[in-house]
Every structure is written in C-alpha cells, then in structure tokens.
Amino acid sequence: MNRIHVRGLEVETRIGVPDEERAEVQLLKVDLEMTPAADFAAMGDEVSATIDYHQVCLEVCRLAGEGERKLIETLASEIADLVIDRFGAVRVRVRIRKFILPETEWVGVECVREA
C-alpha cells in the first residue's frame, strides 16, 4: 500500500477546554499519513493523479486557524474528513501533538478514517 506522509506540520489554533486557554493562539504539530486512491506506479508522474500534499498542508492550516475548539479530538476528526472528502484519500491517519502540560513533552490524539 502506498502512503504519503507529512510530519510536524505546524498549525496555529485556539484550542482548549478552559476559556483562558482558548484566549491565546497555540502552536500544534500535525502528522498526516494519507493513502491515495491510485497506486504510485499508475500515476503517470501527474500531480493530478495523487494527493497534492502542499495543498493539503495549506488547507489544514486554514482549517485549524478557523474558529476555536475545546478538544484536539475535534480538530483531528475535522482534518481527517477534509483529507478524505476534498483530496480523495482512501485512508488517512491524523496525529496531533499539543504542548500545553509543563510536566510532559506533549499530549496528543490520533484519528484514522477510511473512505
């Protein structure tokens, strides 16, 4: 199975359960693992035959910057839906890392969706 990876995409968003946490923009890191509908060998070296990861990154940053959310779980689900619905992935794994708890390196979630 062929996969396209994006690691450590930095997105800015307002997220967190307490109102005070959402008052400031936070930096999150997003990892994506996307499975295109076509096999790499069948793409004919055409970007239109694959998942344009540059456009995915732009759209994920845009989505994260819109509004605010309480849960990173919500954002992960929204990103997974975006990649499946807009970019035609047949499977996507979204990992989000949040750097909010001083006692930890990070906290995170993972969401997997299939078309």
In this structure, the number of other CB atoms found within 10 A of the CB of residue 97 comes to 16
pLDDT of residue 104: 97
3-state secondary structure of 24: coil
Q: Which CATH number belongs to the domain containing residue 99 in this structure?
A: 3.30.1130.10
Distance CA 84, CA 108 (A): 21
Domain extent at residue 68: 4-114
pLDDT tens digits, one per residue of 19-32:
999 999 999 999 99
Number of structural domains in the chain: 1
pLDDT tens for the chain, residues 1 to 115: 899 999 999 999 999 999 999 999 999 999 999 999 999 999 999 999 999 999 999 999 999 999 999 999 999 999 999 999 999 999 999 999 999 999 999 999 999 999 9
Distance CA 109, CA 98 (A): 9
